[in-house]
Amino acid sequence: MTEAIKRTLRDSAKARWTALVLASLSIFGAYYFNYALSSIKPMLESVLGWNSGDFGTYTSAYAWFNVFLFMLVISGFVLDKLGIRKTGLGATIIMFVGTAINYWAVKHHFPEGAVVNIPLLGEMKTQVLISSLGFAIFGVGTEAIGITISKAVVRWFKGKEMALAMGMQMSIARLGTMLALVISLPLAKNFSVTAPILFALVVMLIGVASFIAFSLLDIKLDKSEGTVDEEKSPDDEFKISDIKFIIGNLGFWYIAILCVLFYSAVFPFLFYATDLMINKYNVDPYLAGTIPGLLPLGTMFLTPLFGGIYDKYGKGATIMIVGSLILIFVHGILAIPSLNLWWIATVMVIILGIGFSLVPSAMWPSVPKIIPEKQLGTAYAVIFWIQNIGLLFIPLILGNVLNATNPDVSPNKVIVKTAIEKAFTQTLSEKGFTDKEIYKAIEKATGNAVDSVVQYTNYEPVSIEDINPQEVENNIYTEITGNLKNIEFTGDKKADIKIVINTGKTDAFNIIKKDRLNIRYNYFYDMLIFLSLSLMSLLFAFLLKIEDKKKGYGLEMPNIEK
């Protein structure tokens, strides 16, 4: 009788795949929010007054606690001690809390010039700090749910369609990335800058509910097998003593460094890709996220495909070399200043998706060939920790380099926003508009004016040192105020506000163009950083192949034994 129950649950395809979908929905939300704010970088600057350095700080915050407080390693301990269900539920709740803090920070109106003095780091905008702390908390939950879902897949698919299940789980997760890149900026422009985060909060709640449903199904699995708790294998537990067996393995270091270099050349690129499409390729902001969104869309199908090829034919080290060569080609082409046609960017992103599918499909299955099974869990945890170091420092470097090489952009955007804010606040307050309505109008007019200049004009900008910022601000303010006085307000607030926004956008656009303000980012030096990371990943891919020949790991051999 017991055997029959087992067959109807773990051996039931319906039960297995239902469990996979329920568990994967929790990480879908994590992948969505991870890129939600990256897609609205232009609005964070034009509406909230952030600069690229602030954005770099925010994106690096994801790994703060995972790296410096070793929360990723601690999550491994917690998972082994508490099991899948408790760890996963805690992780989804932590993700929701981090997202909620982020939402409050972006929605809250901080006083002008509100900063916090941090020892060794200096001043940081209060809004940026709180938003970053929320993202850091979210990062703890995301990494925890990632290793939890991996263990859940092993539990449910052991002896079954393991590779396919892992590929499907990653495909569902990357669907969240694609959604964030495609819809976040349109959401923000159609509603408000907080709309993508609010959507993330809803998705997070769905993730919590989904994981609870998974846990109920997982409890039934325990009962059907006559166990009182999830299966635990002593060999799978993370042990500090295992680290000494790993750090002395040169092949491990090659693959770990390849991992951090490769992922640092892709994930941070996606953080900045939407802004790159707008500034360099003049893509409409409503469509700019669609181009980088092609990358995760492609990997959803290609990663399982390439994994299957590696299983059958081998050549793992060679696959990683080819993937690194693709990265070099793509970032090299994207770095060329004169190649600024949108279709070139689209083709390069599609090719990048192929490279991004190749390397992970061979890299992760190669680790068990280098590290004994007893230390495998420890090895993965250490690799993820090293990867988080890259995700901490590379975005921070990229943001500061972008800021330093484009010193005029952020101050000029502040000039435009300040002028529109003064004009709208003065005029609309007299007409009975609420603070909320005025703020939304300022947000839309500022964003639309900046986007229009970037998208539709091509002039040689002047340095901010060659203009009088106060004079430019006064000119924009005076022009908008004068034209707003000529508007006949009908009392239909919705119709009136559209006219106000269009007036503010048009007047600001004309003066920005006339005075040739520099509000377009040049991404050349950031693209050189991505190119350098790609070149270094190729070096370590070759070193890994050489080490494989010396030690006979079998990276070039098929995974499926005949």
What average pLDDT does this structure show over 82-102?
92
What average pLDDT does this structure show over 199-224?
90
Rounded Cα distance, 504 and 424, in Å: 8
- Alpha helix positions (H), 225-279: 243-247, 250-264, 267-279
pLDDT tens for each residue of 375-433? 666 677 788 888 889 988 999 999 999 999 999 999 999 999 999 999 999 988 888 88
CATH classification of 245-406+521-562, choosing from 3.30.420.10, 1.20.1070.10, 1.20.1250.20, 1.10.10.10? 1.20.1250.20
pLDDT tens for each residue of 456-514? 888 899 998 899 999 999 999 999 999 988 888 888 888 889 999 999 999 999 999 99
CATH class of 1-238: mainly alpha
Task: Check residue 402 and give its pLDDT.
Answer: 94
Rounded Cα distance, 298 and 177, in Å: 12
Rounded Cα distance, 272 and 47, in Å: 18
Rounded Cα distance, 342 and 291, in Å: 9
Would you place residue 234 in the very low, low, confident or very high pLDDT band (cuts 50, 70, 90)? Answer: low
User: What does 372-397 look like in DSSP terms, one character per residue?
Assistant: -GGGHHHHHHHHHHHHHHHHHHHHHH
What average pLDDT does this structure show over 116-127?
80
Task: Check residue 148 and give its pLDDT.
Answer: 84
Rounded Cα distance, 95 and 105, in Å: 16
Return the higher-pLDDT residue of 370 and 181.
181
What average pLDDT does this structure show over 446-454?
88
Asked if pLDDT for residue 263 goes beyond 50, the answer is yes
Percentage with pLDDT > 90 across the chain: 45
Q: Give the mean pLDDT of the chain.
A: 86
Would you place residue 116 in the very low, low, confident or very high pLDDT band (cuts 50, 70, 90)? Answer: confident
Task: Please count the residues of the chain.
Answer: 562
Cα–Cα distance list, 14 to 11, 226, 229, 299 (Å): 9, 21, 22, 25
Rounded Cα distance, 393 and 412, in Å: 27
Candidates 361, 370, 357; CA nearest to 330 is 357
Task: Check residue 1 and give its pLDDT.
Answer: 40
Percentage with pLDDT > 70 across the chain: 91
Task: Check residue 2 and give its pLDDT.
Answer: 46
Return the higher-pLDDT residue of 266 and 74.
266
Fold agreement (1-238, 245-406+521-562): yes
Burial class (CB in 10 A: 0-12, 13-18, 19+), 259: buried
Candidates 86, 24, 30; CA nearest to 203 is 30
Task: Check residue 556 and give its pLDDT.
Answer: 79
Q: Is 124 helix (H, G, I), strand (E, B) or coil?
A: strand
Would you place residue 228 in the very low, low, confident or very high pLDDT band (cuts 50, 70, 90)? Answer: low
The DSSP call for residue 241 is: G
Asked if pLDDT for residue 72 goes beyond 90, the answer is no
Q: Are 93 and 125 a contacting pair, CB within 8 Å?
A: no
Asked if pLDDT for residue 238 goes beyond 60, the answer is no
Task: Check residue 319 and give its pLDDT.
Answer: 87
pLDDT tens for each residue of 337-367? 999 999 999 999 999 988 888 887 777 777 7
Return the higher-pLDDT residue of 256 and 81.
256
For the chain, give every domain's residue range.
Answer: 1-238, 245-406+521-562, 409-515
Asked if pLDDT for residue 237 goes beyond 70, the answer is no
What average pLDDT does this structure show over 190-203?
93
The type of residue at 470 is: Q
pLDDT tens for each residue of 299-334? 777 777 776 777 777 787 888 899 999 999 999 999
Q: Which of 47-51, 111-115, 310-314, 483-487 has the lowest mean pLDDT?
A: 310-314
Q: Detail the DSSP E strand segments found in 72-211.
A: 115-118, 122-125
Q: What is the CA radius of gyration of the chain?
A: 25
Task: Check residue 106 and give its pLDDT.
Answer: 92
